[in-house]
Amino acid sequence: MTRPARAVIHLDHLRQNFHRIRSLAGEAEIMAVVKANAYGHGLTEIARVLAEEGCRHFGVTDASEGQALRQTLAHAADITLLSGIFDLKDARLASAHRLTPIIYDERQLDCLKHAGFPGSVWLKVDTGMGRLGASQPEKLLKSCERAGFRIRGLLSHLACAEEPDHPLNRRQIDRFSSLCTRLGLPGSLLNSAGLSKGYAERFSCVRPGIALYGSEPIPSRPIGLKPVMQLQGRIIQIRHLPADHPISYGATFHTPAPMRVGVVSLGYGDGLPRQLSNRGEAFIQGRRYPILGRVCMDYTIIRLDDALVEAGDWVEFWGPNVTANEVARQAGTIAYELFTGVAGRVQRIIRE
């Protein structure tokens, strides 16, 4: 029997999220961000379902992710490389698989020219995030035009979109809009949080990632998304421990009284943050149960007391009943890190 540690992927939720995003995006094109194995959800299935729902444009990190995605998708789909190309080999992959890289420096252009790249590029500009971006966009634009590459548009990224009232949002949007106008190019700026704030009509292409997977980008302003991933382990043993019995590594928890506990087949080696030790909760059939002691590599122990829970029951750590945002808050991280941190050894179970 396979070790019961699984991430159930609810495709019906993915479809609903895509249509919710579609309605928020207005006339803007959607570039579905499926980098990092579709945020840990499984690139092939996620891209297939989004394509079935009408999505024609996908964003991945680099050329090798782009090559993998091209094998799944029809030639007609657009695949953008959000980190661009790193060397000549990437430029050749981009040429062979009709991938669309972002460009932020001349060195990348040289690689593309060398590879005889026939496609189009996005120009990446920094409007306030202080990450990737062309230092002199006008100059780079001229070089692209001289090299004969078609320019898809300008692309930039918001630094504080999940804080809707942060003044940097307005500054970035204004800077980006005026740059697009000055250079006469269409623009792509908004991620999930920016999109849910409602600026979509101002840009030609939006780039939702986390919202597709059903995690609310701004939890205080939910837009009705449904969690796609449900991370589950199973109770593999029930123990009746006496009072003052230590639990797990470091004996950080001692039973205050005789206690019935469950050992669950999922731990930090599967992607459950160790920061949930003595603090997180697990969900079984309508109720939450506290995590006792330290989360181990392969196991987590939960307090059951007299609940009608048996060995063999499935236990949810995040999913439709406990949001990844809530777990992330308890663990001092973000839902993105939880999703992309789910280990390769966890089975992905696809539910239509």
Quick one: which of 123, 241, 106, 234 has its CA closest to 184? 123
Q: Which residues contact 170 (CB under 8 A, 6 or more apart)?
A: none
Q: Say if CB 128 and CB 165 are below 8 A apart.
A: no
Active site residue 249: yes
Size of the site for ligand PLP (CB under 6 A): 11
Quick one: which of 320, 325, 317 has its CA closest to 215? 325
- CA distances 157 to 46, 55, 70, 326, Å, are 23, 21, 25, 25
Site stretch for ligand PLP (CB under 6 A), options 48-56, 201-209, 219-227, 295-303: 201-209
Chosen residue from 191, 255, 277, 300 binding ligand PLP by CB under 6 A: 191
Does 40 interact with ligand PLP (rule: CB under 6 A)?
A: no
Q: Where are the alpha helices (DSSP H) in 115-162?
A: 137-147
Closest approach, Cβ 213 to ligand PLP, in A, equals: 8
Q: Give 316-342 as a 3 state SS string.
A: EEECCCCCHHHHHHHHCCCHHHHHHCC
* Strand 229-241 relative to strand 259-264, pairing: antiparallel
Closest approach, Cβ 91 to ligand PLP, in A, equals: 20
Chosen residue from 10, 57, 207, 303 binding ligand PLP by CB under 6 A: 207
* Contact letters for ligand PLP, residues 235-274 (x by CB under 6 A): ----------------------------------------
Does 17 interact with ligand PLP (rule: CB under 6 A)?
A: no
Using CB under 6 A, which residues numbered 104 to 163 contact ligand PLP?
157
Does 24 interact with ligand PLP (rule: CB under 6 A)?
A: no
Closest approach, Cβ 207 to ligand PLP, in A, equals: 4
DSSP-based three-state secondary structure for 23: helix
- Provide the annotated active-site residues: 35, 249
Applying CB under 6 A, the residues found at the interface with ligand PLP are 33, 82, 157, 191-193, 207-211
